[in-house]
Amino acid sequence: MTTHSSSPAATTSFAALGVGAKLVGALTSSGISAPFPIQAATLPDTLAGRDVLARGKTGSGKTLAFSIPMVDRLAGADRRPGRNPRGLILAPTRELATQIAAALEPMAAACGLKVTTIIGGVSQHRQAKAFSTGVDIVVACPGRLEDLMRQRVVSLQDVQITVLDEADHMADLGFLPAVTRILAATPNGGQRLLFSATLDNGVNKLVKQFMRNPASHSVDTADSPVPAMTHHVFEVGGVEAKRVLVETLAAGSGRRILFMRTKHQARKLAKQLTTAGIPATDLHGNLSQVARDRNLAAFTNGSARVLVATDIAARGVHVDDVELVVHVDPPAEHKAYLHRSGRTARAGSSGDVVTVVLPEQRRDVATLLRRANINVSSQRVTADSAPVTALVGTIAPKVAPSAMPVASTADGQGNRNRRGGSYGAPAGQSRSRGGRGSGGRGTGEAAPYVAGGQSRSRNGRGTNGAAAHGFDAAGRTSTRGSRGGATRTRTVATREQAPAVRAGRN
């Protein structure tokens, strides 16, 4: 294994690194004119076709570091249109896969390449159909990809370049056996790029088994704090003081992400903030993929200024200009702290991180910060203390809950259907009674979306006449009518979700 310097020489342009003209033009059109250090360090090797093992802190630009060489090399190769992809990117979560695809697609389109995303939690019909028209690059989560491989919808026999992103997080979620099987299905001579914050939890086994004399680049250690990120520890006297402080921190005019330990508390806090006039939405494992996408879109477009999330959003969620991250519930270990915090101060921007500490949490938080190499003194504060006021900045105008966006349920998926009219649901759940949809029974009317956006169905039919489904952390919940109008519910964990369910993730 070749190890390169962690401080590569500055390079002024992608063209100087060997990136093709079409791709340079696409990057420039997207406002990307100069490489970040991890890109400058890895591109000479990745463009040359070498296997590369790269480590860098969150927000360092890893997505472009592997997307650029994949597009550049595949665009320059002889294209054989067909069902089998030539490029494969594996990601541990749906959100990360979706955001990788969003960054990749403009570059691929400029070079005449087609990209498709393979994730669980949504119908596989559209995903399978994409292969019939020809696919060059697949961005996938391991579980759904394996399902399609077993059904012979896709073969990996033509893959020339394989990328593993956030490999250590895949290990944390229990995906390494699936990743091993997927890598074994790709040709031995293909290029393999592995991006990981650490090499623990079995990641090193993948390196030894599947990579050939990889060039190793470590731009920053896994525990490196971001220089433009300012950390604060706010101690409060009790639970009520904490509630008031968190509401105050959420009241500023900029985007902010609040991290909670559990799905229930994330949903509850998002509802409380919205009721208080602070537009908030939540992101956690109990939401369907449709609800996750909708809630993240609301945060991205600014209709919700606050995202209340569990650790599902600690990696892979990139939204520009997040000015504040609040650890409402401090995480259990330092890597989670760093990844949560990394949602702000990305790509050279600055940001603040606040950890809220109750008296009984002082010792654990001190240990956590020491392991994360964060040196910051705690401050005893109340909601109106000067450090809090300075951090919050301009208070945004309050927004009445009735002015929140309305969830669209036109396809009949995700409504709770009974006879009668629509009724409101707690935590932003959209439910309806007995409404009739355009092509089937029970699509009903959408209740106002407040926070959460979780939707469920009971004896409902979608626009195509099929039974409606809801999703939760345990996988797919299918609901059937039974004798006497009662319902019978069967919950099946998807392959993608099963490891997380077994681990009790939120």
Measured between alpha carbons, how far is residue 334 from residues 41, 172, 227 in Å? 27, 14, 17
Task: State both tokens at 129.
Answer: 């159909």
2-218 matches 229-401 in fold = yes
Listed residue (183, 190, 164, 205) closest to 53, CA to CA: 164
Amino acid, res. 107? M
Instruction: Tell me the backbone φ, ψ of residue 353, rounded to 5 degrees.
Output: -130, 130
Listed residue (60, 56, 63) closest to 6, CA to CA: 56
pLDDT value at residue 12:
72
DSSP H helices, 159-288, are: 167-172, 176-184, 203-210, 239-250, 263-275
pLDDT value at residue 240:
96
pLDDT digits (tens, 9 = 90+) for 248-291: 999 999 999 999 999 999 999 999 999 999 999 999 888 887 88
The CATH class of 2-218 is alpha beta
Task: State both tokens at 15.
Answer: 């063209």
- CA–CA separation, 162 and 126 (whole Å): 23
- CA–CA separation, 427 and 409 (whole Å): 16
Q: How confident is the model at residue 417 (pLDDT cuts 50, 70, 90)?
A: very low
- CA–CA separation, 468 and 440 (whole Å): 11
176 pLDDT more than 50: yes
pTM above 0.85, yes or no: no
What 3-state class would DSSP assign to 287? coil
242 pLDDT more than 90: yes
- The H-or-E segment that residue 76 falls in is helix 62-76
β-strand 475-481 against 487-492: which pairing, if any?
antiparallel
- What is the residue extent of each domain of the chain? 2-218, 229-401, 410-506
Listed residue (175, 205, 167) closest to 89, CA to CA: 167
pLDDT value at residue 315:
72
pLDDT digits (tens, 9 = 90+) for 81-98: 567 899 999 999 888 899
The CATH class of 229-401 is alpha beta
pLDDT value at residue 444:
32
Q: How many residues does the chain have?
A: 506
End-to-end CA distance of the chain: 37
pLDDT digits (tens, 9 = 90+) for 18-30: 999 999 999 999 8
Task: State both tokens at 161.
Answer: 């370049």
Q: Are 433 and 423 in contact (CB under 8 A)?
A: yes
Beta strands in 20-77 (DSSP E): 52-55
Sign of CA dihedral 204, 208, 212, 215: positive
What 3-state class would DSSP assign to 200? coil
In three state form, how does the secondary structure of 399-448 look?
CCHHHCCECCCCCCCCCCCCCCCCECCHHHCEECCCCECCCCECCCCCCE
Q: How confident is the model at residue 311 (pLDDT cuts 50, 70, 90)?
A: confident
